[in-house]
Amino acid sequence: MAKVTMAQALNTALRDALREDERVLVFGEDVGPLGGVFRITDGLTRDFGEQRCFDTPLAEAGIVGLAVGMAMGGFRPVVEMQFDAFAYPAFEQIASHVAKTRNRTRGRIGLPMVIRIPYAGGIGGVEHHCDSSEAYYAHTPGLKVATPATAEDAYWLLRDAVADPDPVVFLEPKKLYWSREDTDLQTREALPFGRAAIRRAGRDATLIAYGPSVPVALAAAEAAAADGIELEVVDLRTLVPFDDETVTESVRRTGRCVVVQEAQGFAGVGAEIAARVQERCFHSLAAPVLRVAGFDIPYPPPKLEHAHLPGVDRILDAVDRLQFADEPDTRHLVKGAVA
């Protein structure tokens, strides 16, 4: 076992994918000699050559559109969008072509490609560098959406994404790039792509989280345990496919559920999860499903992001409200975006 950061795990995943399959290509803005602004592609051009990892002109639609043509041509592109909000120029390519090519061609042409996007906040970034854009992608049929919360998952989810016959939007929580953990990337212990992980077992309520919110949910569970409340923490790992089974099974057992997301709450992924849980676990629920989300505001300036990001206290508040099942406090069902 060695200490690795999520950034190192991602770099190793790209390295191993490039080594094992010569159809794999890495390209984007500054991913070549610089190694990407977050150094996720560090050393790849040096070790695999310019043919395998290269800089492109500065144009996101161009990068994704080029990847579509190259995937049609038999390659497996792994492209980097420099930051979440800078992927928007490519959105048309993603929504109209990346997502739909298999469907348009009646299954004759699939697009095995990965769009890596450093996303979400918590790093003191200026505007356009901290968006949580997962709902756009998760709402688009034909895309798979993954977001790791641990270094081990960063490695295996990315390996699985590269090997997948379908396009994957791979959302990398920036604030977790430098978090370290003890793991041996070579021996697979991670779950398969599409399965959610139970990060902490508990009997009193289920916290459902993904990506940047997983460590926050775990910290909340730790704090709750001190008060004798045992929270189960489910890490979704992939938003599409969505693992209804693990989620449903957990909530049926605990009878209570809080969905945690960093993204703005309105029409977000958390709303989808809350609805699904309600539909599937209604008779097991002792309280309404609550959401803890970011506010419905454009991502705040760095000095104010602490006010926006759901933290341990906001989660614990929601958990408190779950306890009064007979007398639900409906005044603030959702802490954060939806009042």
Partner 1 sequence: MSVKSLRQTVQGLLPSLTPVRFVAEDGTRVARPSADYTEPPLEALLEAWRRMVLGRRFDTQATALTKQGRLAVYPSSRGQEACQIGAVLALRPDDWLFPTYRDSVALVTRGIDPVEVLTLLRGDWHCGYDPAVTRTAPQCTPLATQVLHATGMAESLRRKGEGGVAMALVGDGATSEGDFHEALNFAAVFRAPVVFFVQNNKYAISVPLARQTAAPALAYKGIGHGVRSEQVDGNDLVAVLAVLAAAVEHARAGHGPVLVEAHTYRMDAHTNADDATRYREDDEVEQWRSADPVDRLETYLRSRGALTDEDVAGLREEAEELAARVRAGMNADSVLDPLELFDHVYAEPTPQLREQRAQLAAELADTTQAQED
How far is Cα 66 from Cα 93, in angstroms, rounded to an integer? 10
Give the Cα separation of 173 and 215 in Å (integer).
11
Which positions touch partner 1 (CB under 8 A)? 51, 56-57, 59, 61-62, 64-75, 89, 92-93, 96-97, 100-110, 141-142, 144, 164-166, 194, 240-242, 244-245
Q: Which is nearer to partner 1, 135 or 319 (CB)?
A: 135
Minimal distance, residue 64 CB to partner 1, in Å: 8
Identify whether the C-beta of residue 148 lies closer than 8 Å to the C-beta of residue 182: no
> Is 15 or 276 the residue whose CB approaches partner 1 more closely?
276
| Rounded least distance, CB 295 to partner 1, Å | 29
66 or 286: CB nearest partner 1: 66
**23 three-class SS:** coil
Q: From the candidates 97, 128, 129, 308, give the one annotated as an active-site residue.
A: 129
Active site residue 139: no
Q: Name the minimum Å distance from CB 58 to partner 1.
A: 9
Tell me the CA distances in angstroms from 6 to 18, 157, 254, one per residue in order: 18, 12, 31
Question: To the nearest whole angstrom, how small is the minimum distance from the Cβ of residue 191 to partner 1?
Answer: 15
Which residues 6+ apart lie within 8 Å of 313 measured at CB?
A: none
- Of 230 and 244, which CB lies nearer to partner 1 in the complex structure? 244
Give the nearest distance from C-beta 187 to partner 1 in angstroms: 26
- Paired strand residues for 27: 54, 79
Residue indicated by tokens 């209604």: 282
Q: What is the DSSP letter of 84?
A: G
336 conformational bin, left if phi > 0, alpha if psi -120 to 50, beta if neither: left
Nearer to partner 1, 25 or 318 (CB): 25
CA 217 to chain CA centroid, Å, is: 14
Element spanning 79, H or E: strand 76-80
| Residues belonging to the active site | 129
